[in-house]
Amino acid sequence: MFNLPANTQVNKLVPKKNFASFLNSKQKRLFSDFISRIKLLNTLSSSSINLSGDEVKEIHIFEIQLKKKDYPVILFDLFDKFIPYHIILIASYNKELLVSAAQKHTHPANENLSIIDWRFNSIWFKENNFKYVLNLRSSLDFVFSDLCFQLSGKSTISKMSILELVNKERKIDVLQKNIHKLKISIKNCKQYNIKVELNMQLQNSIEELNSLKNSNI
């Protein structure tokens, strides 16, 4: 899919039972209900592509065949939580794909667990329209963050770091949720003066959102 060098290829099925010891009963049901099979496609490391990284030591690329077209973010987060390396997930269903990658860091109290800072996702698209690229240059940190920028729809030309991008995406998410709540409140509001105030708040939030989206920070 990413047209990677042959020595990065693994193409090995990963039994779902391998994750059983990490999961509670509810999570095991999610695995069973959503996932048909898991396949490790590629591993990017200093030995396979002669690139190293400060934060990103290895990148593992998994294909997850789903039983239904959905965005099971809880499942994606479980993969990132328990796999110690940075991973790229390619969900597949009926010749459609969705690409997901999460910026994460090691849990301060348990080095075997990760904390997800932000998840970057594509929309569902036909598999013959695969447009994402892993630019194998500079470092593994660059390779992974560059993909995150691609998934966010933003260019690395902006000179933002991956952490700055995460902070920006968080702020955008908060504003979008606030705008949604304000629109519902306005629709349900019966008092004219309160409705006017809510509309002012809505316009301010929309302006702030547009300004943030157009900024490079």
User: Residue 29: exposed, middle, or buried by beta-carbon count in 10 A (0-12, 13-18, 19+)?
Assistant: exposed
**pLDDT at position 73, please?**
87
**pLDDT at position 64, please?**
95
pLDDT digits (tens, 9 = 90+) for 156-182: 555 678 888 888 899 998 999 999 999
**pLDDT at position 212, please?**
83
pLDDT < 50 regions, the chain = none
Q: Give this prediction's pTM.
A: 0.86
Do 56 and 134 touch, CB atoms closer than 8 A? no
**pLDDT at position 155, please?**
63
